[in-house]
Chains A and B, each alone.
Chain A
Amino acid sequence: MAKEVKLHIGVENDLEEIKVTIPDDSPKPWDGKDKLKFVGGKTPRLDGKEKVTGNAKYTFDMKLSGTLHAKFFRLPCPSAVVTKIDTSAAEKAPGVKGIVLVQETLPLTVRYADQELLAIAAETAHQVDEALKLVKVEYEKRPFVVDLAGAQKSDAPEVFQGKFERDKEVGQIEVDEDNAGQRRGNVRAPQDYTKGGTKEEIEQFIEKSEFSVSATYQTQVQTHSALETHGVVANWEGDHLTVWASTQGTFSVLGELAQVLKIPQTNVRVITDYMGGGFGAKFGAGPFGIAAAKLAKKTGRPVKLMFSRREEHVSGGNRPSSMQTLKIATNKSGKLEALSLVSRGSAGISTGAGTSAPAKGIYECPKIYTQDADVFTNAGPSKAFRAPGHPQGIFALEQSIDDLAYKIGMDPLEFRKINTMNHDVRQKEYQIGAEKFAWHKRNPKVNADKGPIKTGMGMANSVWYYFYGVGYQATIKVNGDGSVELLNGTQDIGTGSRTAMAVVAAEELGLKPHDIVVRIGDTKLGFGPPSGGSQTTAGITPAVRDAAYLAKNKMLEIAATHLNATAQELDIRDGVIFVTSDPTRKLSWKKVASKIPGGTFSVMGERKKDHIDIKGAPAVHFLGRNFYTIGGMQFAEVEVDTETGVIKVKRILAIHDCGRPINRLTLQSQLNGGIIQGVSYALFEQRVIDRNHGLQVNPNLEQYKIAGSMDIPEIETIVLDTNRGNSSTGAQGIGEPATAPVAAAIANAVYHAIGVRIRDLPMTPAKVLEALHS
């Protein structure tokens, strides 16, 4: 059965009325005209106190009685064939209880320095360290290549000599398996995209165009560097495995463990009560999860295996570097005519996402040619990283767009406006951003300041996509004492999902968010979304609201019999159930709960497919499908010291949209975090691998530089309400779009300040000085 409802949708107060057909067991989506009590407000985290008092227990904190400590033996050689592994001495070392090999059969190919060969479990971490020194490995060194340019040369050593076998990790970008066969040296088969002509036609068009720019951009490898490293605690009870994991996907870890260990999924449980950060590299069980589970089985003891900071850098995943050659042409009046992008990304021993999505998805341009290809290097695996391919792609695209605007003498903001007319949210964002940032006060000339320290203003567009999954199941349990539990297996990786879920349930139930006991991070609690693609809130909150809607109806039915009314005549507000026509006829939530037949009930809401497709912005082809694009943009003001090359980011204004905001407090934190990570990427972070020996020389947080508190600019965030009526909550994602445009906005501000473009990330003093002096 289905029902038809009228709905006001649109951006902010710019609303139109539509009719939507929705399932009977779903509530009417929140309306653009609804005045909601908690949704869209600012609710402090439910678990804030636990976190700041140290009571929150992370995977790293798990202490099961009898736990063994485990660690990998890693070979510090970037390319080798291992012919013999001798663990006999290590086995006899004090405290050692078990050893497992990552690959049972030899020879074993080592493709990056510090690749794991085996894991040892012992009574103490110190005993593991001592035992690791006793492992003897015989191996033959092979030539290697660690840099993106070098790996593409025809005589470069091949990282994969046979068939390329990708890490089986859920949440990674799906690739065409046949692709491996078309590899040329280390370069995987390029992915081409054309619109409005062939590659040759488009490139010729740009070449002949009167107004065009062409440049090559480079970006570095960034490691995820989450505060909590990768790792698990694994424990067997009979043939049932429980794993505490620092993961972004409890269910993907469960699936991978069951598959690799060849046990039924019913026998695996994954728990992530609290999680110390994840930016895309924490979806799978990983070699560490599998090794820990095997060691736990072998020893009959719980086993803890957490990465060290060094392991996290070299083996935990990273954002691919890129080399991108971008050419764009416009006509005299500033309408884009053609764009060509050829992009290569370092995949390490894994694969990347390409960088062309922003070039395809932000601007209206009739002729587009893009080509992406991954390049294998003898370095740790690249993994999805907060907006895969986007900070790289936007760094190149938005500098080129800026370049072109200056070339035709047009305000860079105006130039962007007239080439994105098809995006209703973006148009509003330009207006608000320009006003808030006082863009009009900006000197139209570049390099206009006197003295060695020069200020500049710049901006860049972001783009992301509306992703959500279906089938997630949220359960709401109402107890006889009126307490409410909300259950789902998804994890809160620090973004505030736990609180967002409580906010949605409280809104529907007429209670307060802190009245809802949220139990999440446990695969026993019902299928939930992975935290990737910025989809947790969009995925889970409609299921939560649907469950709350069913629970509310049930409570109203119970109350109806005691208020001599029908359920349809009742409503709930502030913990009171009342007759809408006569609010003096009422019962408290607790009172009604005490009358639940049998004393308690549970209802389940399911994430269904969206009621309607979202309109108002173009759909873009990304990862094999079309997705509605989320807008967003950031403005940056910088100070560049032309004598030292040091860039200081003074302020960032971020204007974003993510459907209907659920909790603006944690939403703002996500934006702050994305911007801070973006500043850090723009100016500091860089994996440095010694080109002569293939080892990372900065696998720590001292020489791998991350922005500290003094490096953080003044940040202002604005989030537009966009009500699309697509799901019962209308939530979309923000984690990724928040970080995608930061480096580009800063780079454009740097150009405005000094009149020279820095086309190479990170924008270090060395590069700024080189650009100024060349």
Chain B
Amino acid sequence: MNSFEYAMPKRTADVFRALESSDSIIKAGGIDVLDLIKEGIAHPQRLVNINSIDELKYIEGNQTTGVKIGPGTTLAELASSEVLSGSYRALAQAAGSTATPQIRNSATLGGSLCQRPRCWYFRNKDYHCTRKGGFTCFAVNGENENHAIFENDFGCVMVHPSTTAVALIALGAKLTIASAKSSREILVEDFFVTPRENMHRENILEQGEIITAIHLPPAAKNMVSYYYKQKAKQSFDWPIAEVAVSMQLDGKKCQNPRVALGAAAPVPMRSKEAESALNNQEVTIDIAASVGKEAMKKATPLSQNKYKVHIFQAVIKRTVCWASDIDPFA
């Protein structure tokens, strides 16, 4: 760990000033940043703690108006939020399934979206991988059991670690991103960048920008959602496969489905194949199973992770069933 300056702004406006120098880094819950600094992956000269800014912590609105969430809201708060118990429940489920109770009490929604990859080569200071400015992705021909099965043909095969992003994409959420000078809105699914777009970053945030709000659109009529994470362990573990689904359900008839996959690609991704297989269908176990199969048709697993394709098929099937209130084991 290197020595650094520590800034603790009290208002959002002060954050931008603190972020002016290019070697400063934001700390929210501090879960990921502390790891990165301790492992010698990040060497910030200034740490800007935004956890002390109360105006970034809120959950406002309802299913009719849409919901606005402050990026400083903790995952524990999301998991137990009343507002997120109905149509938006995928987000509460995702937040509640992350990490451990201790981490959820500290980790924030903004931090969850902006965390860096957990790839074991990226996290090891002795591997100068593509994402750290090197020329080799060590996982491609190395130990890649946990890596991507989509978008894995260009320079980096990590999977994006944000669980909340998977749910937010399924819910069609947007972000407000602000800097000292301006602010803009963007869909969560457009927030992340693939290695092909940029190898050295995971999202579009520019230096000096932060997420200031997360917006869930008003829930469409009969909208349901569900999130599920498949882990090897039952206790804390990173996912092998995670799936979030939202759709309008008229009886069992599905419309406008959104299916998002996590731990599948270097970005949390939508599966258009799954969505078109599900759209306008009467949901049954068989239909749900075919959605899983369709979603995996274009998968390109690496040498050690073919098993993830099978698991995704099962998890997509089950998540679609659970979203539709069908017992997948019946």
Footprint of B on A, CB under 8 Å?
Answer: 76, 126, 129, 451-453, 641, 643-646, 648, 683-684, 688, 690-693, 695, 697-698, 702-703, 705, 707-711, 764-766, 769-770, 773
Contact = CB atoms under 8 A, between A and B. Distances in A.
Interface in B111-125: 118, 120-121, 124
B329 A705 contact: no
Contacts of B120: 688, 697-698, 703
Given A692-B142, A695-B126, A697-B120, A710 B307 contact: no
Interface string B88-131: 00000000000000000000000000000010110010110000
Contacts of B311: 643-645, 765, 769
Contacts of A711: 233-235
A185 to B, nearest CB: 25
The 8 closest A-B pairs by CB, nearest first: A708-B235, A643-B314, A710-B234, A766-B307, A697-B120, A710-B235, A76-B126, A769-B307
Contacts of B146: 703
Contact of A764 (B141, B142, B232, B329): B232
Nearest to B308: A766
Interface residues of B, number: 33
Contacts of A645: 307, 310-311
9 contacts: A126-B1, A452-B314, A643-B311, A643-B317, A644-B314, A684-B233, A710-B234, A766-B305, A769-B307
B232 A693 contact: no
Nearest to B314: A643
A129 B1 CA distance: 8
B143 interface: yes
B310 A684 contact: no
A interface, by DSSP: helix, strand, loop or mixed?
loop
Nearest to B145: A766
Given A452-B329, A765-B311, A691 B143 contact: yes
Contact of A453 (B304, B315, B317, B329): B329
B141 A692 contact: yes
A7 to B, nearest CB: 48
A711 B234 CA distance: 5
Interface of B: 1, 3, 118, 120-121, 124, 126-127, 138, 141-143, 145-146, 230, 232-238, 240, 304-305, 307, 310-311, 313-315, 317, 329
Contacts of B313: 643
A763 to B, nearest CB: 10
Given A690-B142, A708-B235, 10 more contacts: A641-B314, A644-B311, A684-B232, A697-B120, A697-B142, A702-B118, A703-B146, A711-B233, A765-B311, A769-B307
Contacts of B314: 452, 641, 643-644
A693 B146 CA distance: 18
Contacts of A764: 232
B235 A765 contact: no
A76 B40 CA distance: 14
Contact of B307 (A641, A690, A697, A765): A765
A52 B146 CA distance: 37
Contacts of B315: 644
Contacts of A770: 307
B232 A705 contact: yes
B232 A765 contact: yes
A417 B138 CA distance: 51
A769 B232 contact: no
Contacts of A453: 329
Given A643-B314, A644-B315, A695-B124, A708 B234 contact: yes
B121 to A, nearest CB: 7
B1 A646 contact: no
B143 A690 contact: yes
B261 to A, nearest CB: 15
Given A76-B126, A126-B1, A709 B235 contact: yes
A646 B307 contact: no
Contact of B230 (A129, A644, A690): A644
A764 B231 CA distance: 11
A143 to B, nearest CB: 17
Contacts of A693: 127, 138, 142
A697 B121 contact: yes
Contact of B138 (A76, A643, A684, A690): A690
B329 A769 contact: no
B33 to A, nearest CB: 15
B143 to A, nearest CB: 5
A692 B124 CA distance: 15
A311 B138 CA distance: 22
Contacts of B124: 695, 697
B111 to A, nearest CB: 17
Nearest to B329: A451
Contacts of A692: 138, 141-142
Contacts of B127: 693, 695
A69 to B, nearest CB: 14
Nearest to B99: A702
A644 B230 CA distance: 8
B228 to A, nearest CB: 11
Contacts of A683: 232-233
Contact of B142 (A129, A691, A773): A691
A315 to B, nearest CB: 15
Contacts of A705: 232-233, 237
Given A451-B329, A697-B120, A765-B311, A708 B230 contact: no
